[in-house]
Structure 1
Amino acid sequence: MYLNCHSYYSLRYGTLSEVELLNLAIEHKQDCIALTDINNTSAGLNFVRRAKEKNIKPILGIDFRNGNQQCYVSLARNNEGYLELNNFLSKHLHDKTPIADKAPHFKNAYTIYAFERAMELDKITFSENEFIGIGPKDLNRLRFSKYSAYKDKLVLLLPVSFNSKRDFSTHRLLRAIDTNTLLSKLPLEEQGSPDEYMLPPEKVKEVFVEHPYILKNTEVLLKACSIDFDFSPKRPSQNLKTVLGSSYADFKKLKKLCDKGLSERYEELTPTIVERLEKELSLIRKQDFVAFFLINWKIIEYARSKNYFYVGRGSGANSIVAYLLRITDVDPIELDLYFERFMNEYRLNPPDFDIDFSTWDREDVTRFIFEEFGQNGQAALLGSYVTFQHSGAVRELGKVFGIPKHEIDKLSAGNYSLQNLDNLSRLTLKYAAILHEHPNYLSIHAGGILISDRPIHYFSATYLPPKDFPTVQFDMHIAEDVGLFKFDILGQRGLGKIKDAIEIVKTNQPEAKLLDIHNPKPLFKDANINAMIARAECIGCFYVESPAMRMLLKKLGVDNYLLLVAASSIIRPGVAKSGMMREYILRHRNPQRRNEGHPVLQKIMPDTYGIMVYQEDVIKVAHHYAKLNLGEADVLRRGMSGKYRSRKEFKAVKKKFRDNCISAGEPEAIVDEVWRQIESFAGYAFAKGHSASYAVESYQSLYLKCYFPLEYMVATLNNGGGFYRAETYIHEARLNGAKIEAPCINYGFIETSIKGKTIYLGFQHIDSLEQKTMLKIINARVQGLFKSYDDFIERVPLSIEQLDLLIRIDALRSLGKDKRSLLWEAYYKENTIPKNELQQSFFRISMHDYILPKFSVTDLENAFDQLELIGFPLYDPFILLENEPDSKLVTADLKNHLDKVITIYGYLVTLKNTRTSKGDRMFFGTFLDREGQWLDTVHFPPIAKKYPFHGRGIYKLTGKVVTEFDFITLEVIAIQRMAYVPDPRFDATYNRKENSKHPSSFILLDKE
């Protein structure tokens, strides 16, 4: 009898989850209820799934509203009706138009107008599928209305949105947040009614005792509705089933593509290659995944036709078919990738392909996918939910309670004493806890695209976010539950770097011979690249440039592709957290230690010395050690990825794992330790094929860094950098022989550019310089170089504020005047010559050239201007120190001071803030010494607490020099941030002599 139930996916209105609604139905002995969220279908599929589990008949519908004004409630009579409703809602959401006052004629859905709404519309005629909804408060008015004669059209309409007074209070707060108003000023019309809770059936029957026909009509309506989706473990895939019109044609095409790929990828066909291909093709056909591979192939073929750089990764990289179709560049034969991780007869979902493109290429690839596969409404982006988190909820609630901002800041940051809080602050914290993890608004999955065999609206309505592609209203977990498996099309800056670097090399070194970067195998054998990896000289290179990775590369002595593949997964938090990263290093460096491992695990994973490093290792251990079948092992692996850890199927497999091991005579302590290692993966381990894909891209970027370091650093800067700030990459370019020039009006561009070995920073690095200013300069320069200041301002009319920025960064230095003279001239002429851009275009104004005294500008003044305008100096930052360092030690000296306490100076690059197992804060620091070489530090909790960091700058570091696996670290016992000299631009009393020009200059600090 409940036809109008709202979950908390009636965003910023409802308060109950779909599961809580179903539990309420059970509590009230209901065997059928309808979920009708407000202009939203996010909860629909999971509601049906959970209702089946609870033996409740689900009905799906939509509460169509304009704002908080209900237009009508529509219920799907069947799945086709749900499609109709989703089509209707989606059109409204896409077009951003109001819901029509009167519903269209739905062929397979019923529409219910609330009694008052029908009266407002003065609706007289009702089609066969239209009804009038009556609530308890409508009964008295019904007696005297024209609708009393419409007995066969009257049904119960009892909205359900809350289950307690607290829920209603939460609802009011949500409405205040949604309307951005104080709770005390929230209009009644923006709120639901306090009686929107589930009345006991006995009470309903008592209230409607004189109107039994209303109850009967409602029951008839409920019986007429039925909706079903298949969530069974063996449910068929709902993805597009065929690309070429038939399964036969699809498989024939796939086989032809593989045959072509064999000749392109392998010089010699071995029995291993042929057997692996036959095995994969047979299983792909049996599991009905042929179309999945062809769709990915089509996407890749389009990208290749446009010369887009991409990387295919994920578990699909374990597949030789994917390798032959060029979806990935990972050879599974070469790496002996575990076939069962890719696919096995128990696996119901297709393998996962994550395909990365550069950010701008990705948009066009997405457009292609929608044009190629979405013509009949079968494609959509995958949605996700942004939920209320503590800090955000506190801020939103604080505003609607009217709490001052500074008080909200304290509550949000946790800087308060509970006993000293006033009532409103306590309420804010109370309701922030209630709202925690409740959905706040819809967003988009990072890169998931659905391509369905049926129209996507069969499953959900879609909305149109700023990306302008239809997006479903549910997330990836619900999608997989119903058999919709996403295609991941992701954006990645690293690919933009590679693509741009190649183009820059072609321009700057047209005679250079570039290897085919899409054929990475020669790169794996390049001695220069491998030596560079072993030295951890990987700044700017994909996935191998961070301080933690630099440390691991040195500790492992990585000098080949296979070891880099392992390192790419070992660095992940799951392996590191379990202590197995350290154990791997120990076993790698000391073969004798490998004998200490569990013999069964050693046999299962010989290539990783019996240590679980990759996701498929979980499958191997579960299958061979715990004797689970491959289907159960994959459930375990998926649970470890964090997706289904709480589901009953995972819990059952977890129990079976332990029971099987104990039954086989394994000691409990060993079983518990193996399980601890598995559990520590916690969603952080990579599939080996995924790690191999990362390593391929690492080698591609390492190749460019090794042979074309300057061009590669320019490409890195123009693609937003990487792990570090721009100054680090400029420093790296200088170490490789570059001459770094500040932005220049005659030779620079908007982006950073290179000519020979000279790198001109782009105008985009100048803080507050407007894009229109940059474009004016570039467009005017087409007519020729600027010859004088007057020539420049005549051709590029600018405000004095924009001119000031350009002059102070010395962008006009090619005009032959120092910047102090230029500033004097600019401000004088700004105040004396009238500005008229149109007039200046036609008439040259005669300007008197004044004789000025000779000015000098020191390096310090330039450095402070650079600090202000681009965020870092183009000089050695150590010239900024007020006092000379009292230690001349540099990183190269540390090997001579092992286990000794020393003092050294370092320029802070980046800081990793972490916590110990006890929850204490500690830091790992990365600095540059006076020679511009790396210096690594560790700050244990007592030191981290006693000596906090105070922003960027140069620090005096005192500590003990230690080494582990030949990697030297300074265990800090004291730090002091060193003072800079007073800014000479504002300190007239400072008479320090001009420093000699420093050709080196570093720069850094990772992005915050």
Structure 2
Amino acid sequence: MYLNCHTYYSLRYGTIKPERLLAIASKNGLQTLALTDINTTSACLDVVRLSSKYKVKPVLGVDFRNGAQQQFILIAKNNNGFQNINAYLSQFLHDSELKIPEQAPELNNTFVVYPYVHNKPYSLKSNEFLGIKPQDLNKLKFSKWNAFRGKLVVLQTVSFENKKGFNTHRLLRAIDNNTLLSKLSKSEQGQETDMMLPYDELCKTYKEFPELLKNTASLLEHCHIEFDFSQETPNNQKTFTLSEDSDFQLLEKLTYEGIPYRYQNPDDIIYSRIEKELDIIKQKGFVSYFLINWRILEYARSKGYFYVGRGSGANSIVAYLLRITDVDPIELDLYFERFINLFRKNPPDFDIDFSWTDRDDITQFIFKNFKNTALLTVYNTFKFRASVRELGKVFGLPKSEMDVLVKGKYRIKDLDKLSQLVIKYSSYIQGFPNYLGIHASGIIISERPIHYYTATFMPPKGFPTTQFDMVVAEDIGLYKFDILSQRGLGKIKDTLEVVKYNHPEKTPIDIHDIKRFKQDERIKYLLRNAKAIGCFYVESPAMRMLLKKLQVDNYLGLVAASSVIRPGVARSGMMREYILRYRYPERRKDAHPVLLNIMPETYGVMVYQEDVIKVAHLFGGLSLGEADRLRRGMSGKFRSREEFLAVKQQFFDNCKHAGKPESLTAEIWRQIESFAGYAFAKGHSASYAVESYQSLFLKAYFPLEYMVATINNFGGFYRTELYVHEARMHGGTIEPPCINHSFNEAIIQHNTIYLGFMFLQSLETRTIKKLVAERQKKGLYKSLDDFIDRVPISMEQIAILIKINAFRFTGVNKRELLWEAHLKISKVVLEESTITLFKMDRINYKTPQLPSTLLENAFDQIELLGFPLCNPFKLVSNPQKSELRAKNLIIYKNKVITIDGYLITTKHTVTSSNKHMYFGTFLDRDGDFIDTVHFPPVAAKFPFRGPGIYKIMGKVLEEFDCVNIEVISLFKLAVIEDPRYSEVTKPVEA
């Protein structure tokens, strides 16, 4: 009887979760329900999937509205009608200027319901009806439509469950309209009665109009929607060559053709693995999936794009031979069943990383070459702190009060009533969808039109995007293609270009020669000593310390480290145990014999996601399908689902029946649960390690060129400043931007690195383009006058260039240059320089001698670049006398010392007792790292106070050859007075 039901996917309007809507319907005795969210079909497939659980027949449609103004409701008779509705809705979601008309379109296999307005003329077609709300019944008695009850249906809207839901609805509407709750217009909100009534009560409400109940029941009876959630067969594009047989022949041909590139002497192990994989791929219907990935990457290689195929797809030798991945699953003993197995219903996916500069072209290629394609959405939800601010504005709280609430520094009973309401409803709407975004990488290529499943919207990227997320896509059998971007690949690509122009004699470089890299002594040295700043995945403080502790210098050790570093392994307490067993073989005997037998390579420690499957299967007695479902359930997406909980119970039951000690079972489950959602697949770690080796090779042999590429790709884990420092540590001479040498990006000339103009804050892109283009066209600039004659520029823009000393080639002090520029540049900027027949001599004004110092340069660099190019310790107002350096700390093990450090980065974490602590990374005067730990009492008493140099007092600790300082006190040192603003400027050199 309900034709107009909303979930909270009616964004900033509805307040009911999809499953809760079904539960309410079941509780109220309903057998059928029409889900008609406002301008969206986000919840439709999930409601259909869950409907059988509540024994409610689902009907799908859309409530078409302009803002809060309802125009009409379209209800699908069947799947074809649903597709038509999705296609129609998408027109408006693709073009924001289009308004939904008052008159519904003529769409096959749909019903139309118009909201009844008294005395408004209607001309209804055979599939169109008037919806009569309970409050309209009295007016209906005096309307001409009372005589045409055959065209009338019940229209009891459902937007919220109860009074609290209505209050939440009003708050959401106020947020949506950016207005105070007290000023929210009635036209922008629903009726307080827009709730679901029990079936009998609804019938009682319309008892004087039984025809309406009959018509509504008849309409719903004529609607039937079906989707297959069994996932027995994928719903992606079925074929690549228009024939499944020819698809398989092509896949088989490409696989065997790829053997010579990967293996010099293939043996029976390789051939039998290929046969097994091809057979499973064919049985599971994933042939076209492999071929589509192959085609995408064939295009990428033809364009010279660098990419990395990672994830569990690296477990496939077919993927390796098709060059989808660069990880040899035979070498690493990766079993294919982790990626695809006959028990697994969930679709597999490849994660393909591209350089951030190449990804958009790859996406364009996919949309151009494959018919039914769309990006996947992601539901951006209300977060508690953001909600506090939004609701604070709605209630009219001043900013100072909102700041207190956001920081959580209050006792709820001490708050006034409005503040309490803000906290109460912020908690309630936390997790509600707020708006639809774009999944970081997911693309689906469907056999059916995308609108068969969902409407699409058009975000700024310009590609149609679904209204459901990746979880729903998997439920319906649409496995995604993950096209990601990362700057690590951009650094590798750009480094090769930099080497080409700075050391042409050393090119070309085969960056894919991973087998050679694995034996390279320079790379082993960098790994063993954790000298990997700038290198993909191995440069963070945590990874740097782990490499030192493990003393890793080989590929397999790095693969393990890539997974051990993940939070789950540390939380389970097994990271430390792994380090002990790795370094001290005698420690391995402490491992439980069962686990050591299952995981000999990692000494009985669960390191990879595959280990969850191994332990669940071999220890917990689960089938491979059940074990993989358990592993996937740990990821968080399915953690609350009943099928996952049933597998968990099966694990314990099997162990109990097998007579395993309860304490051992509980401990192994604790290890599984604490890390499985964070650990990598072994193939994923191996893929990361391949990219790490590529970047380590470039760092080992071309450190300056690699740092230039790193700087131009906006770094990695750290700020640009550290990579500039790293270049200096490798013998580079760092120069600020120069109008005669620099470009937009940083460049290198032999060992001299000129920073690019793009690093100058507030320097406009058009200024940079004009400056560089003019220089390339007519040669170097000879003087300030020559520059002003040739480049139209404002005083504000040229001041930036002068302050950064970009005119230092002139030999004129920059203070004098600023005076000259002020006198010679008009406040009005010409678009182009005016060409005259005769060159006009500029009047040369005599400017006073205004010396500047290196210290002034440093402060100008801090202002314009964000950091100084000199040693920052030279800017301390009262230099400390301590000569202690990071390299000498080990001498003072277990002793309290004081050392000065320049703050590089901090990491915040929360203890098990919910207290805040930090890890710090500093540089000493020589540029070497100092690592610190700040436990909660110290972190609270001596907080970090932004970038700068700190006096660190603490106890020197050492574990596994890794030294850090347990901080006792921390004080930020004062810097010298900014000489640019001092009363008397003395030409003191820094």
State the TM-score, normalized to the length of structure 1: 0.96
> 1:392 corresponds to which letter in structure 2?
A
Q: Name the SS for the 1:937 alignment partner.
A: strand
Report which stretch shifted further, 839-848 or 364-373: 839-848
Query: What are the superposed Cα offsets for residues 785-805 of structure 1, whole Å, 9 maximum, x if unpaired?
Result: 110111111111222111211
* 1:810 lines up with 2:805 in the alignment: yes
5 Å matches for 1:198-277? 198-232=196-230, 234-277=231-274
Matched position secondary structure for 1:445: strand
Task: Find the residue that maps to 1:511 and give its secondary structure.
Answer: helix
Mapping 1:443-592, distance limit 5 Å: 443-592=437-586
Tell me the alpha carbon deviations over residues 547-591 of structure 1, each in whole angstroms, 9 at most, x when there is no partner: 000001111011011110000000000011111111000000111
Shift in Å at residue 611 of structure 1? 0.5
Matching residue's letter, 2:281: I
SS at match of 1:102: coil
Q: In 1, are the aligned partners of 2:793 and 2:830 still within 8 Å (CA)? A: no
CA deviation string 1:199-226 (max 9, x = no partner)? 2333332232232111111111111111
1:296 Cα deviation (Å)? 0.8
Q: Contact conserved, 1:982 with 1:990, CA < 8 A, in 2? A: no
Between 595-604 and 411-420, report the one with greater CA deviation.
411-420
**2:707 is matched with which residue?**
713
AA matched with 2:891 = N
For 1:752-901, what aligned pairs fall within 5 Å after superposition?
752-781=746-775, 782-830=777-825, 840-842=834-836, 844-852=839-847, 854-901=849-896
> Which residue is equivalent to 1:1003?
none
After TM superposition, give the deviation of residue 130 of structure 1 in Å: 1.2
Q: Tell me the equivalent position of 1:103.
A: 104
The alpha-carbon distance between structure 1 residues 157 and 938, as it changes in their structure 2 partners (threshold 3 A), is: same
CA–CA distance in 2 between the matches of 1:201 and 1:355? 52
The correspondence of residues 228-627 of structure 1 with structure 2, limited to 5 A, is 228-232=226-230, 234-374=231-371, 378-627=372-621
* Shift, 1:108, TM fit: 0.9
Alignment of 1:945-960 (within 5 A): 945-960=940-955
Q: Aligned to 1:236, what secondary structure does the other structure show?
A: coil
Q: Percent identity?
A: 58
Shift of 1:19: 1.4
Is the contact made by 2:956 and 2:966 (CA closer than 8 Å) also made in structure 1?
A: yes
Moved more, 627-636 or 639-648: 639-648
User: Aligned runs of 1:186-201 on 2, under 5 Å?
Assistant: 186-201=184-199
Q: Which residue of 2 aligns with 1:174?
A: 172
Counterpart AA for 1:704: L
> Given that residues 496 and 509 in structure 2 are in contact (C-alpha distance below 8 angstroms), is that contact kept between their aligned partners in structure 1?
no
Question: How far does residue 697 in structure 1 lie from its aligned partner after superposition?
Answer: 0.5
Displaced runs of 4 or more, over 3 A = 833-841, 850-856, 989-993
* In 2: Cα distance, 1:140 partner to 1:884 partner: 87
Provide the secondary structure at the position in 2 that maps to 1:82: helix
Shift of 1:716: 0.7
**Whole-angstrom CA distance in 2 between matches of 1:106 and 1:235:** 32
CA contact (8 A) 2:443 2:483 kept: yes
Deviation at 1:923, TM superposition (A): 1.6
Q: Secondary structure at the match of 1:2?
A: coil
1:866 CA drift (Å): 0.9
Q: CA deviation at 1:948?
A: 1.5
Shift of 1:984: 1.3
- Shift of the alpha carbon at 1:241? 1.2
Cα distance in 2 between the residues matched to 1:968 and 1:600: 35
CA distance change for structure 1 residues 341 and 839 in 2, over 3 Å: closer, same or farther? closer
- SS of equivalent residue, structure 1 residue 956: strand
What's the CA shift string for 1:391-429, capped at 9, x where partnerless? 111111111111122222222222334344222222211
1:830, CA displacement in angstroms?
4.1
Q: What does the per-residue CA deviation read over 1:580-619, in whole Å, with 9 as the maximum and x for residues that have no partner?
A: 1110000001111111101111111111111100001000
Equivalent position to 1:128, from 126, 129, 136: 126
- How far 1:381 sits from its partner (Å)? 0.6
**How far apart, in 2, do the equivalents of 1:213 and 1:884 lie?**
91
| Secondary structure at 2:258 match in 1 | helix
| Counterpart Cα distance in 2 of 1:64 and 1:959 | 65
**Shift in Å, 1:329:** 0.3
Aligned twin of 2:20: 20
In terms of mean alpha carbon deviation, does 808-817 or 553-562 score higher? 808-817
> C-alpha displacement at 1:895, in angstroms?
2.5
Instruction: Identify the residue that residue 926 of structure 2 maps to in structure 1.
Output: 931
- The Cα shift of 1:836 comes to 5.6
Query: Which amino acid in the other structure matches residue 251 of structure 1?
Result: F
Q: Work out whether residues 377 and 469 of structure 2, in 8 Å CA contact, stay in contact via their aligned partners in 1.
A: yes
| Residue identity in the other structure for 1:698 | S
SS at match of 1:192: coil
Q: Which aligned pairs between 1:724-743 and structure 2 lie closer than 5 A? A: 724-743=718-737
**Whole-angstrom distance in 1 between the partners of 2:476 and 2:952:** 57
Please report how far the alpha carbon of residue 147 of structure 1 lies from its aligned counterpart in structure 2 after TM superposition. Answer: 2.1
Partners of 1:65 and 1:799 lie apart in 2 by 49
Give the TM-score normalised by the residue count of structure 2.
Answer: 0.98
One-letter identity of the residue aligned with 2:122? K
Size of the aligned set, in residue pairs, is 987
Q: Call closer, same or farther: CA 1:359–1:839 in 2, change over 3 Å.
A: closer
CA distance in 2, matches of 1:866, 1:524: 41
Q: Which moved more, 1:140-149 or 1:456-465?
A: 140-149
CA contact (8 A) 1:794 1:841 kept: no
Q: 1:147 to 1:339 in 2, by over 3 A?
A: same
Using the TM superposition, give the Cα deviation of residue 947 of structure 1 relative to its aligned residue in structure 2, in angstroms. Answer: 1.6
The CA distance in 2 between the partners of 1:942 and 1:65, in whole Å, is 55
The corresponding residue for 1:1006 is none
Does residue 1:630 correspond to 2:624, yes or no? yes
CA contact (8 A) 2:820 2:847 kept: no
Residue ranges of structure 1 left out of the alignment (5+ in a row): 996-1008
1:3 aligned residue: 3
- Structure 1 residue 331: deviation in Å? 0.4
**What is the CA deviation profile of residues 917-946 of structure 1, one whole-angstrom value per residue up to 9, with x for unaligned ones?**
222222211111111111111222222222
Q: Is residue 58 of structure 1 aligned with residue 58 of structure 2?
A: yes
Aligned equivalents of 1:586, 1:418: Cα separation in 2: 47
Which amino acid in the other structure matches residue 14 of structure 1?
G
Q: Quote the Cα distance in structure 2 between the aligned partners of 1:133 and 1:901.
A: 79
Q: Distance in 2 between matches of 1:428 and 1:839?
A: 58
Segment drifting more, 690-699 vs 982-991 = 982-991
Shift of 1:992: 8.2
Corresponding residue SS for 1:802: helix
The range that moved more, 922-931 or 629-638, is 922-931
> Which letter does structure 1 place at the counterpart of 2:112?
T
Aligned CA RMSD, in angstroms, stands at 1.6
> CA–CA distance in 2 between the matches of 1:346 and 1:899?
55
The equivalences for 1:632-781 within 5 A come to: 632-781=626-775
Give 1:851 shift: 4.4
1:786–1:815: 8 Å Cα contact kept in structure 2?
A: no
Deviation string, structure 1 residues 470-529 (Cα, Å, up to 9, x no partner): 111111111111111111111111111111111111111111134311232211111111
**Do the aligned partners of 1:642 and 1:682 also contact (CA within 8 Å) in 2?**
no
